[in-house]
Amino acid sequence: MNDQLAAFAEGRILYLNKPLHWTSFDVVNRVRGVLCRALGTKKLKVGHAGTLDPLATGVMVLCTGKATKQIDRLQAGVKEYVATLELGATTPSFDLEHPVDAHYPTEHITRALVDEVLQQFRGEIWQVPPVYSAVKIDGKRAYDYARKAQEVEIHPKLLVIDELEVLHFALPVLTIRVVCSKGTYIRALARDIGRALHSGAHLTALQRTRVGDVSLADCREIDELVADITAMTSEK
């Protein structure tokens, strides 16, 4: 077996740029499928260190083989995001997965007000995860209840926002950079910022730019990784 392929079987940590519209499972499934065919096996452990929503892009850390034992450590690293919010409108999922369900005034929102409101979200905060999320409630995912229009109580979580800054502001668009702890839902942060502005908000774009010390510059495109694995297969 090619030594590089053998390394995947033994255990490797991969840094990928998740494409738009792919689920985190799609990425894992794609990489696992390619590696299993290349290695001539039906089973290979592949996992990811931190879920990204389908409408988000950016840094995704995958582990293969024995490296999957490091997932908990890798997930614990701080995350950095660049998020674009549309102010004055909300959706049930707090992003573009669902259509706008309500509109709110934005005429009163100034850059000074935005700066004042964002100050509230720096440091330790309590955040209620979105109803359309993978949070478990009585053994089921929150989104399972939401899709059946069943109301459930989701308890708030204590999180840390290390950095929060405005990158762009021109009504109704607000783009922010967020450095935060594990478990932070940027969609929920958008919801809460909208409410604090006495308006509404939802995400229109989200990119994870860093996980721990790993940035986008360290990431490969999935097609590039697949092409390399395919080339290794021909060298076996």
CB 55 within 8 A of CB 97: yes
Kindly indicate the confidence band of residue 161, based on its pLDDT and cuts at 50, 70 and 90.
very high
Residues serving a catalytic function are: 53
Two tokens at 147?
């899709």
pLDDT of residue 186: 97
Higher pLDDT: 142 or 94? It is 94
CB atoms within 10 A of CB 79: 23
- pLDDT higher than threshold 90 for residue 235: no
Return phi, psi of residue 218, to 5°.
Answer: -90, -5
Kindly indicate the confidence band of residue 5, based on its pLDDT and cuts at 50, 70 and 90.
confident
Reduced 3-state DSSP string for the chain: CCHHHHHHHHCCEEEEEECCCCCHHHHHHHHHHHHHHHHCCCCCCEEECCCCCCCEEEEEEEEEHHHHHHHHHHHCCCEEEEEEEEECEECCCCCCCCCCCEECCCCCCCHHHHHHHHHHHCEEEEECCCCCCCCEECCEEHHHHHHCCCCCCCCCEEEEEEEEEEEEEECCEEEEEEEECCCCCHHHHHHHHHHHCCCCEEEEEEEEEEECCEEHHHCECHHHHHHHHHHHHHCC
pLDDT of residue 137: 57
CA distances from 64 to 7, 50, 236 (A): 9, 15, 20
pLDDT tens by residue, 14-59: 999 999 999 999 999 999 999 999 998 989 999 999 889 999 999 9
CA atoms within 13 A on the CB side of 164: 23
pLDDT of residue 214: 95
pLDDT tens by residue, 164-194: 999 999 999 999 999 999 989 999 999 999 9
pLDDT of residue 146: 52
CB 54 within 8 A of CB 97: yes
Distance between CA atoms of residues 81 and 78, nearest Å:
10
Return phi, psi of residue 30, to 5°.
Answer: -65, -50
pLDDT tens by residue, 103-157: 999 999 999 999 999 999 999 999 998 876 556 655 666 556 556 566 666 778 9
